[in-house]
Chains A and B, each alone.
Chain A
Amino acid sequence: MIDVVIIGAGVTGCAIARELSRYRLDVLVLERASDICEGTSKANSGIVHAGYDAKPGTLKAKLNVKGNLLMEELSKKLDFPFKRNGSMVLSFEDEGKEKLQLLYEQGIQNGVKDLKILPGDEARKIEPSISEEVVWALFAPTGGIVCPFNLTIALAENAFENGVEFKLGTNVKRIGKISGGYRIETDKGDFETRAVVNAAGVYAAVFHNMVSGDKLNIIPRKGEYCLFDKTVGNLTSHTLFQLPTKYGKGVLVTPTVHGNLLVGPTAVDIDDFEGVNTTAEGMADLLKRGALSVGTLPTRQIITSFAGLRAHEEGGDFVIGEAKDAPGFFDAAGIESPGLSCAPAIGEYLAEEIIKYIPSEKKTDFKETRKGIPCMALAAPEEKQRLIGENPLYANVVCRCELVTEGEIVDAIKRPLGATTLDGVKRRTRAGMGRCQAGFCSPKTVEILARELWKDIGEISKNDPGSEFLTGYLKE
């Protein structure tokens, strides 16, 4: 019998896996998709919230501030990009000051440091990009931005390095109670386990409700985004939120940790658990709202758009911990915003709960750190030379827009839990994330994937099976 099976290799599942890997436990992660970070974790704002949003006393409040604190240290240990760029909540009406005051007080109660309410002019001194319409702003210097892909992948790789097993492309069909634990039936066989961690994102309610009478209801809440070229990535240096206005809930305008500009998300509850399509209305709406913060948005510089689904639980808070009527079944459900910020704290919190259930000793040989793939685009000239000296493939540029080399792509494939798809390479290296959106590099990346994985190029896919690029040979 396995000690713990974690369902879902998103940022939450991977954070829990890493924390559990500190202990002498047999841990298995089951993931439906063919790669880690394929659900909500790959399509979100990439924001590390300061922690003033959540109502004091909620799990969201408690875990956000802690997650924010943990993120910086974790980024150094696990080598993923994180930047404390500071955030602002903008009010376009004088009355907004009261609402900002409320957020400020919430923040203080939640333990957020250095919050300040500023009149528009003072806010504009700190962040000149914000529009003349801004009357008041709440400034939170502890807000940050992170690469959601590399955060998730780093957590997974480190967990793997510490002995956690991952089964990708494995779809959980049914969970049933057995003596001393649970039987998890999947399309790749059954697994018996003492404890289950339910980190299945928008599907978490489905799994919870298989074992618990205390039902959850998760509604996928779609958020659409537009991503802009790096040439306008410096439009704002802070993450700009908005107070809700008479036109509805605000959207954010933020630099990404990689230097693009990101605007979004919309918030629309939908029925389709796979409904990650963008819509003309959604994009028009978010661009209109985003423009409020900065005057005008350089819409000609949009390089892509995408949508993600937040797992919104009806109760409004995270559902984290052992299900009341299902001992050994631990939920990490309803993990919507600020879930990414909270992930390191959720990992710690839930691992502690699980260790209470399955007492276990800490390993003495736990590897605390992980080294990421070198980044030639950011390396100083001497570092570039050194890397090329080590491996000449670091001199062969494949993705010209983001300056990603063959060496980095081969690394991404050959690492533990390495990339097997074009999207997998993209999330690990940024190849194809630039302004040509993989027009030039995708045939080359497909070729490298095929070569390294001993496959034919016809077998290489964008992401899950069914998304192969090529349909056959000529004149077939």
Chain B
Amino acid sequence: MDKDLVIIGGGPAGLAAAIAAKEAGVSDILILERDSRLGGILNQCIHNGFGLHTFKEELTGPEYAGRFIKKAMELEIPYKLETMVVDISSDGDLKLVSYMNRKEGLVVVRAKAVILCMGCRERSRGALNIPGYRPAGIYTAGTAQRYVNMEGRMPGKEVVILGSGDIGLIMARRMTFEGAKVKLVAELMPYSGGLKRNIAQCLNDFDIPMLLSHTVVDIKGKERVEAVVIAEVDSDSKPIPGTEEEIKCDTLLLSCGLIPENELSNALGVSMNRVTGGPSVNESLETSIKGVFACGNVLHVHDLVEYVSEEAAQAGRKAAGYLAGYGKDSRADNPDEVVTLKATDGVRYTVPSSIRLSRMDDRQVVRFRVGAVYKKVAIQVLAGDKEIMNIKKQALAPGEMEQVILQKSVIKDIPDLKEITIRVNTDN
């Protein structure tokens, strides 16, 4: 089978990318989705608060996904469900995408362009290396969310949550609504990794305590969790002896970070960014392999799905541009025309990490996260040595994604521009 554009994943990123690509003139698109419906993880996010920026209403996750699914249906974009991509490789300019499903068996698609939209997974107990027994009752927050919201079942009654990521906070509220007692949220860092609004609406409103600089140091119970031991940690995140406290519970939920799922990207051999765990991309969200684009949580973990949709739409448009012939134009890659984005002084990474000036839009969104909590600082952008922006910020936190918008009109006339630096300016 031959396709112009294959989109791997039919979640929020895949849908928005497909819609944008179709609207930009790509007619031969195929979305490959491993689950039994489109919409991805939004299908289990039945809380509201999605779509405030885009639709000016508070939608639930399935409703937000529904808007995109409806649009994709109207545009008659083909998709396959319960279809797992098992491999991608390059064959000259083409990409060979192998997928499997019950109807067709193993199929190889020859695609001119691919957009990676595989999303992310949650960090597991094993990856956190929490000592103790290995009983039932230890779930990532997303797994628990699936049991509650998709199956209507409770994974536990007395809950301790480790980590204050957004899914954990949402599940603290959700489990409380459904009759569980959420005893506390323990967060290793001295600040929460979740959105401020979630801390207010999911913990404070329900009097659920959050202990910062605390972690779980032991899990008790042989068949089912019976208790966890929490302890305070020092500035190196090491437990402080003598601060241990045993808390009776039957469930430990983990909300300790998300990891982009890049098994396929790695199989293909795209260059990865060590900080984000996703591919390194240029202004077009194109990876180190021509014609392979990435967006959404597979690229870097987002906090709001609306940023995913926005970013994915950009990837879709850029993939359309590539297919329209820009991909054949190698002048854009002339090293003299490529500007590197440097993240430093508290800024952990930037997406994109380079900009080809000839392919840059008039406005280029650059997204990033900071590595610590800051108050009353500024985000400073330097083109070479020259400050081109200094945006004052009341507060910055690792849990909240930030962005700056670079204007092509400002950048294009700077002679010999090689590097743009984005940093936290604490002397502002």
Interface residues of A (CB under 8 A from B): 226-227, 231, 274, 276-280, 282-283, 302-306, 381, 384-385, 388-389, 392-393, 395-397, 400-401, 403, 405, 435-440, 442-443, 457-458, 461-476
Contact (A274, B122) CB under 8 Å given A389-B105, A469-B155: no
Contact (A277, B136) CB under 8 Å given A388-B106, A439-B121: no
In Å, the complex CA distance between A396 and B82 comes to 7
Find out whether the CB atom of B106 lies under 8 angstroms from the CB atom of A277. Answer: no
Report A169 CB to chain B, min CB distance, Å: 13
Contact (A306, B134) CB under 8 Å given A393-B102, A396-B82, A472-B154: yes
Is B217 located at the chain interface by the 8 A CB criterion?
A: yes
Chain B contacts of A231 at CB under 8 A?
266
Find out whether the CB atom of A475 lies under 8 angstroms from the CB atom of B178. Answer: yes
The residue of chain B having its C-beta at the shortest distance from the C-beta of A405 within the complex is B100
Find out whether the CB atom of B121 lies under 8 angstroms from the CB atom of A392. Answer: no
Is B131 located at the chain interface by the 8 A CB criterion?
A: yes
In addition to A435-B127, A437-B127, 16 A-B residue pairs with Cβ atoms within 8 Å of each other are A227-B126, A277-B131, A277-B133, A280-B239, A304-B124, A381-B106, A392-B105, A395-B104, A400-B34, A401-B263, A443-B150, A461-B136, A466-B223, A466-B224, A469-B136, A474-B153
Chain B contacts of A283 at CB under 8 A?
129, 131
Is B101 located at the chain interface by the 8 A CB criterion?
A: yes
In Å, the complex CA distance between A93 and B159 comes to 51
Is B143 located at the chain interface by the 8 A CB criterion?
A: yes
Contact (A472, B153) CB under 8 Å given A384-B100, A392-B102, A439-B143: yes
Is B306 located at the chain interface by the 8 A CB criterion?
A: no
Chain B contacts of A439 at CB under 8 A?
121-122, 124, 139-140, 142-143
Find out whether the CB atom of B34 lies under 8 angstroms from the CB atom of A436. Answer: no
Contact (A476, B179) CB under 8 Å given A381-B106, A471-B250: yes
Find out whether the CB atom of B136 lies under 8 angstroms from the CB atom of A462. Answer: yes
8 A-B contacts (beta carbon < 8 Å): A303-B126, A435-B127, A437-B125, A443-B143, A443-B150, A467-B135, A471-B251, A474-B178
The residue of chain A having its C-beta at the shortest distance from the C-beta of B250 within the complex is A471
Find out whether the CB atom of B103 lies under 8 angstroms from the CB atom of A392. Answer: yes
Find out whether the CB atom of A475 lies under 8 angstroms from the CB atom of B146. Answer: no
In Å, the complex CA distance between A393 and B102 comes to 6
Is B151 located at the chain interface by the 8 A CB criterion?
A: yes
Report B9 CB to chain A, min CB distance, Å: 12
Contact (A462, B153) CB under 8 Å given A439-B142, A439-B143, A475-B178: no
Chain A contacts of B101 at CB under 8 A?
395-396
From A277, A303, A397, A467, contact of B132 by CB (8 A): A277
In Å, the complex CA distance between A190 and B65 comes to 59
From A226, A465, A467, contact of B129 by CB (8 A): A226
In Å, the complex CA distance between A280 and B218 comes to 8
The residue of chain A having its C-beta at the shortest distance from the C-beta of B157 within the complex is A471
Contact (A280, B126) CB under 8 Å given A388-B106, A473-B154, A474-B152: no
Which 7 pairs from chain A and chain B are nearest by CB?
A: A304-B126, A466-B223, A437-B124, A397-B84, A392-B102, A467-B136, A388-B105
Is B148 located at the chain interface by the 8 A CB criterion?
A: yes
Report B32 CB to chain A, min CB distance, Å: 12
Chain B contacts of A304 at CB under 8 A?
124-126
In Å, the complex CA distance between A396 and B100 comes to 7
The residue of chain A having its C-beta at the shortest distance from the C-beta of B158 within the complex is A471
In Å, the complex CA distance between A470 and B106 comes to 35
Contact (A474, B155) CB under 8 Å given A384-B106, A395-B102, A396-B82: no
In Å, the complex CA distance between A444 and B260 comes to 21
Mark contacts of B178-214 with chain A using CB atoms, 8 A cut-off: 1 yes-contact digit, 0 otherwise. 1100000000000000000000000000000000000
Mark contacts of B96-117 with chain A using CB atoms, 8 A cut-off: 1 yes-contact digit, 0 otherwise. 0010111111100000000000
Report A433 CB to chain B, min CB distance, Å: 10
Is B86 located at the chain interface by the 8 A CB criterion?
A: yes
Find out whether the CB atom of B86 lies under 8 angstroms from the CB atom of A397. Answer: yes
The residue of chain A having its C-beta at the shortest distance from the C-beta of B100 within the complex is A395
Report B161 CB to chain A, min CB distance, Å: 15
Chain A contacts of B86 at CB under 8 A?
397, 403
Report B300 CB to chain A, min CB distance, Å: 18
Find out whether the CB atom of B152 lies under 8 angstroms from the CB atom of A305. Answer: no
Is B156 located at the chain interface by the 8 A CB criterion?
A: yes
Find out whether the CB atom of B148 lies under 8 angstroms from the CB atom of A474. Answer: yes
In Å, the complex CA distance between A392 and B103 comes to 7
Report A46 CB to chain B, min CB distance, Å: 17
Chain B contacts of A405 at CB under 8 A?
100
Is B147 located at the chain interface by the 8 A CB criterion?
A: yes
Mark contacts of B243-271 with chain A using CB atoms, 8 A cut-off: 1 yes-contact digit, 0 otherwise. 00000001100000000010100100000
In Å, the complex CA distance between A438 and B140 comes to 10
In Å, the complex CA distance between A475 and B177 comes to 8
The residue of chain B having its C-beta at the shortest distance from the C-beta of A407 within the complex is B102
The residue of chain A having its C-beta at the shortest distance from the C-beta of B179 within the complex is A475
Report B282 CB to chain A, min CB distance, Å: 25
Is B222 located at the chain interface by the 8 A CB criterion?
A: yes
Q: Which of B160-189 contact A (CB under 8 A)?
A: 178-179
In Å, the complex CA distance between A24 and B240 comes to 63
Contact (A385, B106) CB under 8 Å given A471-B250, A472-B153, A473-B152: yes
From B34, B82, B154, B263, contact of A470 by CB (8 A): B154
In Å, the complex CA distance between A19 and B250 comes to 43
The residue of chain A having its C-beta at the shortest distance from the C-beta of B106 within the complex is A384
In Å, the complex CA distance between A205 and B101 comes to 52
The residue of chain A having its C-beta at the shortest distance from the C-beta of B98 within the complex is A381
Report A411 CB to chain B, min CB distance, Å: 16
The residue of chain A having its C-beta at the shortest distance from the C-beta of B102 within the complex is A392
In Å, the complex CA distance between A304 and B129 comes to 7
Instruction: Tell me which of A306, A443, A475 has the highest count of chain B C-beta atoms within 10 A of its own C-beta.
Output: A443
Find out whether the CB atom of B100 lies under 8 angstroms from the CB atom of A462. Answer: no
Report B346 CB to chain A, min CB distance, Å: 22
